[in-house]
Amino acid sequence: MTEQKTEEKVQPQEAQNQDSAKPSNSYRGAGGGRRHGGERRGGRSQREGARSEFAQKLIGIRRVARVMAGGRRFNFSVAMVLGDKKGRVGVGLGKAADTALAIDKASRAAKRNMITLDLTKNRSIKHNVHAKYCASVVEIRPSLGRGLVAGSSVRAVLELGGVTDVTAKLLSRSKNSVNNARATIDALKQLSK
C-alpha cells in the first residue's frame, strides 16, 4: 500500500513539470502567461510598464516604398507623441517592415527626445514662444481661462505635455504633421527646465 501512495505522489509532480515545460500563450496576447509573481516571459513586463507610464498618440502612419533590384520593398513609417501629462513630452519617428515594430521604435525615439517643461501653477506657459522647424512655423501664447486652443499635431503635443490655458497658431501653410509637432517641441524647449 505504501508503494501505491508514493506512486500517486510522483505522478502529479511529473504532470506539473510537464505543464510548466509547455510554452505559454503570452507571446500571442492570450490570457494566462503569468508566472512567478506576475513576471511575463520574454521580458515583456518592462515594455508594458513603460507603456502605462506615458500616454501615446499616433500623429502619422505612412507606407513608404524603396525601389530595389527585384522590385519595391515596403516599410511603415510611424510618427508618435509620448507624454505623461505632467510636463514631459517627446516626439519620435520609427520605420520598420511591421507596424508594431515601427510603433515600438517610434516610442523609444520619443522617450530619447523627451523634454521637461517649466509650467505655471495653472499648467500654462510663462510667456509667448515662437519656433520654426523646416517649413512649419508655430506660435504659442498663454491665455488664462480659455483652455487648450490648438489644432493638428500641435494639440497632441500640448495635450500630452499637460499644457492648458494656451492658444497655439500655425503661422505656416505646412500640412506636415511631423514638422508641426517638431516645431511645437522646439517652441516648448524655450520653456524647458
What confidence score (pLDDT) does residue 41 get? Answer: 46
Backbone phi, psi, residue 37, to 5°: 70, 35
| C-alpha cell, 124 | 500654462
Cβ–Cβ under 8 Å, residues 115 and 107: no
Provide the CA 178 distance to its chain's centre, in angstroms.
Answer: 15
Residue ranges of the domains in the chain? 48-115, 117-189
Q: Which helix (H) or strand (E) holds 22?
A: none
What confidence score (pLDDT) does residue 15 get? Answer: 47
What confidence score (pLDDT) does residue 3 get? Answer: 52
| C-alpha cell, 88 | 514631459
Say how far apart CA 87 and CA 107 lie, in whole Å: 17
What confidence score (pLDDT) does residue 185 get? Answer: 96
Mean pLDDT, contiguous 10-residue spans, the chain (193 residues): 50 48 46 46 47 84 94 96 94 96 95 93 93 96 93 94 94 94 95 74
| C-alpha cell, 101 | 515594430
Please tell us whether the domain made up of 48-115 is placed in CATH 3.30.2130.30: no
CATH number of 117-189: 3.30.230.10
Residue 96 bridge partners (DSSP) = 76
